[in-house]
């Protein structure tokens, strides 16, 4: 909008100045008087205030965000973020620490810890990492075996072969899909390990909320945004985290395609969606959101798909990014309003002959300075 106005501003002012010159020359018959009034019209008009309103504010915002560990990939993202009315979070690694720990462990008599250790070593998922750390701490003589046919199934688990045996590890849902588990539904986050068609071990895991996660969610809600959480974990684990966050919309057992469909559905409903994630499972959902936010420690593909990168691990920086974007957008609108009001008031006064060229020059300069000083308020921590 600003570019469209600014592109026609000089043409409009030139036309007004010529019309003013013609009017005063016709009225007074004096070339000098007509020329002075026309020059005053040109000088007092301020395309600078109009042209500076957006870029100076966004430039200051980019710098302020950088100092706080908030990286906007493009300046236009600031406006898009300010307009978001729905925040969708991935759970693991975003709202929760992602540092799971094994709270309970059951295994069959013929349990090969080295086979499981080799299987989880090929995965970067937080659940696999937690199981690997537990095995390393509690089992001696672990060996990293050479597995064949290793396959990583997104949001489900991993498969491989060793010594003619089929190995599989992952969620309860994955085990049911493979036909290896038909027992009661588990509560919380569990990791199943199957060898040669039988469940050989079950790990129960727990994780805690990230410091500042609840405060971040509360801040977004207070800003008028709806908040939802998506997770591949079961309903029990999702509900427990949601309760810790103070409630909100929750979608459990969500595969990457489910997350993407959820975000796409919100967009089709007219929502401006802010999607926050850090894993490869979130890449599709990030790509479909209005603004994609990724933690700096996230997977490379998620960082690539994101519009904003938060270098801090804490969710508090997300609330700061939203507050910064909204403040910048508010100041941009203030500058635009000031510029339009200034030109609407001073140009008619100059056309009427009430402003001398020297006064017009001073007025124009002060208006530009006012816009810049107002833009600098973006840097304020408040």
Catalytic sites, residue numbers: 90
Smallest Cα–Cα separation from 92: which of 187, 206, 225?
206
Say how many CA atoms lie within 13 Å of 216 toward its Cβ: 23
CB 256 within 8 A of CB 283: yes
Query: Which run of H or of E encompasses 375?
Result: helix 357-376
Could you give the dihedral angle defined by the CA atoms of residues 31, 34, 36 and 39, in that order, rounded to the nearest 10 degrees? -120
Smallest Cα–Cα separation from 355: which of 37, 49, 48?
37
Look at the block and give the residue holding tokens 């203030």.
334
Beta strands in 196-331 (DSSP E): 198-206, 226-230, 249-251, 273-277, 291-295, 308-310
Q: Which residues pair with 165 in a beta bridge?
A: 162
Edge-to-edge strands, sheet with 308-310? 70-72, 308-310, 291-295, 273-277, 86-90, 226-230, 249-251
Query: Which run of H or of E encompasses 158?
Result: strand 157-162
Q: What is the distance between the alpha carbons of residues 243 and 381, in angstroms, rounded to a whole number?
A: 31
- Report DSSP letters for 166-188, one per residue: EEEEE-HHHHHHTT---SPPP-S
Helix axes 47-67, 316-351, angle to 10 degrees: 170
């Amino acid at each position: 909008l600003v570019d469209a106005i600014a592109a026609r501003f000089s043409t409009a002012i030139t036309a007004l100045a010529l019309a003013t010159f013609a009017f005063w020359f016709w009225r007074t018959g004096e070339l000098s008087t007509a020329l002075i009034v026309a020059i005053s019209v040109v000088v007092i008009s301020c395309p600078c205030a109009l042209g500076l309103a957006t870029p100076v504010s966004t430039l200051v915002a980019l710098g302020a965000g950088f100092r706080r560990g908030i990286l906007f990939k493009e300046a236009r993202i600031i406006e898009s973020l300010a307009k978001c009315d729905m925040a969708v979070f991935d759970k693991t690694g975003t709202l929760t620490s992602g540092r799971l720990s094994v709270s309970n462990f059951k295994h069959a008599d013929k349990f090969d810890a080295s086979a499981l250790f080799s299987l989880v070593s090929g995965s970067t998922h937080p659940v696999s990492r937690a199981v690997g750390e537990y095995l390393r701490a509690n089992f001696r003589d672990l060996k990293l075996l050479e597995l064949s046919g290793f396959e990583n199934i997104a949001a489900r688990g991993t498969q491989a072969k060793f010594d003619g045996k089929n190995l599989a590890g992952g969620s309860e849902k994955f085990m049911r899909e493979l036909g290896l588990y038909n027992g009661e539904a588990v509560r919380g986050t569990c990791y199943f390990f199957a060898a040669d068609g039988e469940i050989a071990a079950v790990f129960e895991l727990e994780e805690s909320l990230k410091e500042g996660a609840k405060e971040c969610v509360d801040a977004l809600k207070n800003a008028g945004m709806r908040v939802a959480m998506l997770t591949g974990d079961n309903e029990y684990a999702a509900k427990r985290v949601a309760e810790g966050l103070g409630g909100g919309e929750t979608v459990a057992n969500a595969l990457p395609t489910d997350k993407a469909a959820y975000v796409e559905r919100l967009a089709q409903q007219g929502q401006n969606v802010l999607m926050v994630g850090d894993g490869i499972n979130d890449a599709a959902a990030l790509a479909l959101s209005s603004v994609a936010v990724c933690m700096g420690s996230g997977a490379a593909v998620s960082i690539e798909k994101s519009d904003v990168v938060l270098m801090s691990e804490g969710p508090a920086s997300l609330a700061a990014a939203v507050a910064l974007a909204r403040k910048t957008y508010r100041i941009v609108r203030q500058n635009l309003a000031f510029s339009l009001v200034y030109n609407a008031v001073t140009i008619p006064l100059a056309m009427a002959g009430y402003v001398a060229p020297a006064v017009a020059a001073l007025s124009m300069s002060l208006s530009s300075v006012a816009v810049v000083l107002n833009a600098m308020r973006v840097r304020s921590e408040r």
